[in-house]
Chain A
């Protein structure tokens, strides 16, 4: 099949939702009726980067870094490091237990993700794309492998640079330096930066690491144009985003909403209500708790969430039912985060274990809030990666939002949560780091 030219002139399309979830047919022929074959490129393809910059797309994996700027920093290293063509890594780790959106895209719309990855490769002049998927996400792995084979069989030359890697199932394995370290033959554990992957990544080459959803958006931006992308979302945070809504809602699952939608609307769309909730966890287990009052006032965008100590993160939203004890759930999440430590940094290994144990003690009636807060400030910002910061943020938000419940516990008045443990916590399993 001859490669169709990439359309950088926006095709007028209606600003309706869903976008990413519009076509889940998972079949190359029907996908190609809407999207042309990504080009091969030996040099950075500047038009793509410009389009992505104009779109204002920010990474949807959690950090929210501007994607266009990231493309440009990798592309600009191209001429400086002769013989080291960049690499594109698709981050499909999705280690966040409350998020399922990347697995949904990979298993139901892999061609959009692969197009995005190949367009990003063209943008930075990369010849190789590695799609990293959690090795236990069998449906996603199967779909991505099938989609890759389908492209090779149909003669798409750009597909020859694609490969799929099944990565270890660890939360921190999805940190970009950990992915790079593992792809280079090491353990899937974060490394000390600098150098960051864009400077020296896979095989010492400049490496672009982008989240699955981010790349799906990128494919749509190149196809339909940055202005089309900006028809939804806010000026500062344009576009739509996938949210995984779980907890006390009727329609548990992945929804697509404009960034900046009111949190109460997102929850209502999922068949829930803030009046039938005790709190909302935004950003997943790596996120922060909001009280129902805070949630009522906030839109789903960093502009509103940052002042509340929260953020979009990966878009996971958990509605805590009224019968649950927020302190108990906080202790369970901090315990899970502590267990996800790679065991490399002393302050993380010991500090998170202390925070987890201390929160359980507080739940059991220990009046130790001051000590917990002191430990939290000691642990913050100390690791090679952001795991300690995530645990600290989650704990602090829990102590603030559930202050009444905390007071009951530390003064021995007992727990008001009639429901017992509510949030799903992944089983601890022994998983190799290689």
Chain B
């Protein structure tokens, strides 16, 4: 019995270190679960929907769950990201259409300095709500590891389309069509 103590302790310690390593690796690498679900057509509920993020203008914004029943074009961006600047006018134009169909663009500023984000919003006259993801945890739940990235969430709160990179007109039109179709 006494002989088993050291090997047992060593095994437990080794297993704990291995678990820590696995946790670190899985925590760092972006998840592509949502992409696979969209490709297969078995849509999944938007992650972290109940999480309230700080609003860019202060206080806390409504969580995604509060948008259930609406189509949401969730867009991750940052003021230092050049492609985000390119797509900002496109998203604002989309917002003008979406807001008439019980739908909205929802911006999430990713690891950005608040004053820079606000300057960006003013520069591109963005009217849609924008939240702050200072930790990057919310974006990580969507497998976001580059900017910009956008997700179309249907009225049931499920992710139905993903754009990993700058959005294009067909992606925007698909979101608008989804909003128009269901309104």
Indicate, yes or no, whether A interacts with B: no
* B interface list, Cβ under 8 A from A: none
